[in-house]
Each structure stands twice: as C-alpha cells, then as structure tokens.
Amino acid sequence: MTPGDAHRIATPAIGNLRELGGRPTADGGTVARGVAYRSAELAADAITDDEVVAALRVRTVVDLRTAAERLARPDVLPAGAHGVTLDVLAGLPAPTGPLADLGRDPAALDGRLDHVDVVQAMTGTYQALVADPTARTAYAAFVRIVADPTSGPVLFHCTAGKDRTGWAATVLLLAAGVDEDGAMEEFLAVNPAVRELFARALASLGPRAEVLLPAFEVRPEYLQAALTTVREQFGSFDGYLRGGLGLADDEVARLRRRLRPDQ
C-alpha cells in the first residue's frame, strides 16, 4: 500500500490500482480485504510478471470499457486470471464533438470549448450510469461476479479507473454497509493517481487545461448526481439493487456476505 493512502497499491504495471477492502462500515464492521480491486486500464506487458500484481492472486478481470477502447488497448491479464467484458456505456450514444477528442488528441481542442459545459456533461454521464438500462444490466452482472466466491479476487477497471469504475466501487461499498461519506472518500481518493495518468495530456492543452480539467478528475457533484438519481428513480440504494439491478433477495445477501464475512 502507498503511505498516506492505505488503499492505493503502488506498481508501475497498473495505474490507479486500489484495494476496496478495509473501509469501515456504518455498523462498526469492515469491508473484507482481498475480494475486490479497482484500477485504470491493464495495458502494460509487465502485468504478466509483476510481483505486486501477482500477490493479489486475481482470478477475474472485469473490463467496463467500450469495444473501441478494448480494441485500441486490449487487456493484458495477470497470470491465472480470465477476463469478462461488461460495456456499461453500450446503450448510450457514442461521444461526439470536442469531448470525443479527449483521448485522441487533446491539444487539437484549442478554440472548440467555448460553449462546452464539461461539468454538466460529466454529471450527465453519472446519471446515465445509474438510469440507463444497459448500464444497469452490466453493473448487475458485475456485482454477481463479485458475489461469487469462485470468481474472486476480482479486479475491475475502465480506462482511467475513475468514472465507470468509480460507480462500480461505490455500489460495492454501499452494499457492504459503508455510508455515503465513506463511499465519497474512496471516490475522491483516486484524484492523485488520475492526475498522474493524465499529466501529459493536460500539459499538452496549455491554457485550455483548466477548461477541460473537470473531465480529467472526479468531483463530489459527480457522485452526488448518481446518488440523487438512485433516490429519484429507485427510492433508495436498496431499491436500486433490487429494482434497478434486478437482484433477488438471496443475491443481495450473497453479495453482502462476500463483502462482509464478519456478519
């Protein structure tokens, strides 16, 4: 673990690698360690023989990226792991306009951002991660994988490990009994690692970097947008698990036992 952040796992092989376990729950318990890890994309060849990664003994890698992202930078799986693809954005329109160029050539965005509300676009994405039927189907499959002891430990990721992965991590923590403040703490804790991942892209933007910065980080209002959508559409987080993700009572119980074996 990284000094100052008990959940960040330092290795050059995988960016933004974190352990979800160890966070306190609202009832005085602790989220189980060694069950779920989160990260940015797994694109480095070094992953296959990295000692830090090997020590995690990952069995299943869940890739939340789009088909285009996977094609451009396929996963390099840790030894002994198998991959599962769950595109949580498959039901949403492909990004268009200036924001679609973020990953390709951010420097080419100069002069095209005067009327783009990046924060609004980001909050809209978080609302869709909760409400979109395809996203809900993908996240339901994800939590079922985590709930299955034969699938774990599970490592889940998107590209930077902040948005799609951030909501996935939030779902697991809330299901384990972590309160919203604790889930928000984990959500925001990725920012230092995300800034490292995007440092070169931000430097290439020059004075435009400040305009686009909301797309290169996570902010409290993003997660709050998702949590508000949960309450508006499903009444509560428990309603989201059952009505949104379609989990049966025994599946919810199995997920919680996996994340909280102390119960």
Average pLDDT of the chain, as a whole number:
90
> Has residue 226 been placed in a domain?
yes
> Has residue 8 been placed in a domain?
no
Q: Residues 24-70: pLDDT tens digits?
A: 999 999 999 999 999 999 999 999 999 999 999 999 999 999 998 99
Task: Categorize the per-residue pLDDT at 96 as very low, low, confident or very high, splitting at 50, 70 and 90.
Answer: very low
CATH number at residue 37: 3.90.190.10
- Its pTM stands at 0.92
> Has residue 100 been placed in a domain?
yes
For residue 113, the enclosing domain spans 18-259
Q: What is the pLDDT of residue 94?
A: 61
User: Based on the structure, what is the number of domains in the chain?
Assistant: 1
Sheet strand arrangement including 154-157: 18-19, 36-39, 154-157, 60-63, 82-85
> Has residue 200 been placed in a domain?
yes
> Has residue 227 been placed in a domain?
yes
> Has residue 191 been placed in a domain?
yes
Q: Residues 129-148: pLDDT tens digits?
A: 999 999 999 999 999 999 99
Q: Count the residues in the chain.
A: 263
> Has residue 162 been placed in a domain?
yes
> Has residue 160 been placed in a domain?
yes
Q: Which of 28-32, 71-75, 207-211 bottoms out in mean pLDDT, i.e. has the lowest?
A: 207-211
Q: What is the pLDDT of residue 252?
A: 97
Task: Categorize the per-residue pLDDT at 186 as very low, low, confident or very high, splitting at 50, 70 and 90.
Answer: very high
